[in-house]
Amino acid sequence: MQKNNILFEKNIAIIKRRLIPLHDGLLKYIETRIEEGKVIIDESARGEKVVGVVRDNRCWYLNSRYDAENAVKCWADGVEEINFRGIVIMNGISNMMYAREMLKRLGKDNILVLFEPDPAILVKVIEETDVSDILEDDRVFIFANDINMTFFRQYFGILFEYDRINYSKILTLPNYGMLFPDEIGEFEELCEKELIAIHTDKNTYIHLGEEINDNHIDNIWSSIFSSSIDELKKTIDKTDIKGVPAIIVAAGPSLDKNIELVREAKGKALIVAVDSAIKAMMARDIIPDLLVTIDSHKPMSLFEDERIEYIPLVICMQSRVEILQKHKGKMFMSANMSYIKSIYRQLGTDLSVLSTGGSVANNAFSLVKFLGFKTIIFIGQDLAFTDNKKHVKNAYTETAVGEDESEEYIEIEDQNGDPILTFRNFKLYRDWFESEIRDNPDLHVINATEGGAKIHGTEIITFREAIDKYCNKNVDFNKLIELAADSFSAEQKLEYFEILMDMPNKLNKLKKRFEKGIRDYNRFYELLRKGKNGTSEFRHVLKSIEEVNNIDLKEQIMEFVVMYAMEDEYRLIEGIYDVEKSADIKSEGREIADRGISMLNSYIKACARVIERVEYVLENIVDENRIEMLKAEVESHKKEK
Amino acid sequence: MISKIDGLLEEIPRICEQLYQNDIINANQGMAKIFPEINRLYLDVINMRADYEAIGIDLPVEILISQLKNMLEAYEAKDVIMLADCLKYEIYEGLLYFRGIADAKK
């Protein structure tokens, strides 16, 4: 069908340029498709190309067979007004006339996400109709089952900025609900989960933002002298780990059942413990190969055993600072903020991100996936209240599952398909694992927890069986991990330290820029009030305001500032685009100026807070002796040259 | 009969709009009301075939039956597009035709 198909060539060339995962998925689907003929392209009475799906001995048309354009206009007339920052998600593409009409009615800042549950429809439309105008449109993103859905979550996080969420709308094209109820249901559930994740992030930042940001700044010192997960990967890559599993030891109550067996797997699998499980492991003298700690407020009681200080630690900038400071063994940094990532890049090295669903076990999963392990075994990954308990013995002093927290509970499916109680956030962690497993078909994930929630997509066996079946090759991970280099050379470490020293200076400049921004906002309102909004001065003030509002795009250190101002920012963003139509230009201008000034005042306060924290680091955390030693090392390198 | 036809001619465009807009709940409510009325009207007219022949009107019975069948198929399958098309471009035209011949019969 594709050979000499001009329409297909034209459409696919645009897709290749704009929507790469869709392009690759489409070509793969076309190569392997088996069912042809169930989707047809017909002509309406007006000669328009319309789509039909043959099912149950009848043809379901997805457009009017008499006057498709008129029906599409009628459909679009029924869509309620969409905010200028809104995102429209359409279930179904039909012949894309609906999308074309919607685009005519949307503004330049809107986004249109098209979801096609049946890949055969998308392929047919691309093969037989000219939809190049829609494919070319920067506002359009297309996802189709069996083609590029594995990329949906990544795009979702980027497209659905927090301020757009309240203005998003899901529309279903006629007949799609009848033909594809399950597929549409699943897609909408996926959207809902992603939205919940965005809200959860927001709540986390509001409740823990200050603490997290304190850690971000305090941990700069540790990051100068750490290794990174990228260096760890380089080392692991030197060994053949094909057929070697990674075992993630989490702290669910079922860990008591099989923790002793971890000893047997040592040297035959990479043993990665999450921080909550370490106390139980140490109580049995079982030392993991890696320990992951991410939470900014992890109880120090978990780290009391001095031997833990020598276990290679996987961290990120928000990890609890006290844990990093007392650690004597190797530390592997991962990225959780772009500013630090940009510093690494500036110094000529990489720092990769470990994606997460909110729990440290999610990070551990991302870590082993990043390191290249294809077989992943879970133990202690209950994610539910097995035998009415929340965690393994020794982890925490905890209250029993009871009425007082019942609002936080939800019922999910256990490993036998029976109902089991869990925390709502545990369900989110499980959902994240399931999405990862679905999106990474090359991974083989074994749930050897022997209790707790069912994680769909995993092989459920006992840990004994998992060890016998998968842990058959010897690899000395202890030795390998010790070989990983630091992220930076002595010269780079000094350069990084200078960046830290220069931060207050940078932040003071930013403060001055925000103060000017406030003056600009006041001038903006004054000019508006006097009716001078057509003057060159007004345009100049507007440009200056635009610059200050986009300063985070130029100054990456703003990430620290924004984190301290997060609560104010969320509050000010709420309803920012609900401009009342009846409001006159002057009161609208006052509202804009007031919001802008509030935000800039909040940034000024946050700048002072970052400066204060950096000064705290320089006075209390930085070890001058270490800096002197670095300087001496750099000097000796120079002499050697 | 004429008032019944006029009532349907008024209702059908509104229901078609709801169907094209995928507003299934409201469209279903409207359809539940007009579906038996259309059915009855079509059958009444077809049954009066001999009366119409007597005044020189040759009813296109096959077309009328096919319109009814299409509407029934779409309604039973819950195919909103076919139903809207059928109502807008077939039944509506059929009703206009009925109105014309009813006037002629008077």
Q: How far is CA A272 from the centre of its chain?
A: 22
Disruptive mutation site among A57, A175, A184 for chain B (greatest number of B CBs within 10 Å): A175
A163's tokens:
């301020």
pLDDT at A425: 83
- pTM of this prediction? 0.69
Reduce the secondary structure of A27-65 to three states and give it as a string: HHHHHHCCCCCCEEEEECCCCCEEEEEEECCEEEECCCC
- Position A21 confidence tier, pLDDT thresholds 50, 70, 90: confident
Tokens of A172: 């279903």
Q: Number of CB pairs < 8 Å for A and B?
A: 60
Of B73, B77, B85, the CB nearest to A66: B85
Alpha-carbon distance A42 to A149, whole Å? 28
Transcribe A557-580 into DSSP letters: THHHHHHHTHHHHHHHHTTTT---
Q: How far apart are CA A239 and CA A233, in angstroms?
A: 10
Position A1 pLDDT exceeds 70: no
Question: CB distance A178–B19 less than 8 Å?
Answer: no
Touching check for B20 and chain A: CB below 8 Å? yes
Q: Tens of pLDDT along A605-615? A: 999 999 999 99
pLDDT band at A435 (very low <50, low <70, confident <90, very high): confident
Chain A residues with CB-CB distance to B84 below 8 A: 64, 71, 174
Write down the H helix ranges in A247-328: 255-258, 262-265, 278-283, 321-326
What percentage of chain A exceeds 90 in pLDDT?
68
Mean pLDDT of A45-49: 96
Around Cβ A20, how many Cβ atoms within 10 Å?
Answer: 12
State how far residue B33 is from chain A, nearest Cα, in angstroms.
Answer: 21
| Interface membership of B17 toward A (CB under 8 Å) | yes
User: Nearest C-alpha of chain A: how many angstroms from B21?
Assistant: 4
- The nearest CA of chain B is from the CA of A136 a distance in Å of 27
Mean pLDDT of A465-476: 96
Overall average pLDDT of the A384-411 stretch: 66
Nearest to B22 among A65, A67, A174 (CB): A174
Query: Is residue A507 pLDDT above 70, yes or no?
Result: yes
Between the CA of residue A307 and those of A285, A291, A332, what are the distances in Å?
10, 12, 18
Query: Per-residue pLDDT averaged across A227-243, rounded?
Result: 95
Q: ipTM value, please give it.
A: 0.93
User: What's at A609, amino acid-wise?
Assistant: R
The pLDDT tens digits of the residues spanning A140-192 come to: 999 999 899 878 877 877 777 766 777 888 999 999 999 999 999 999 988 88
Q: Which of B19, B20, B70, B92 to mutate to test the interface with A (most CBs of A within 10 A)?
A: B20
CB contact B92 to A (< 8 Å):
no
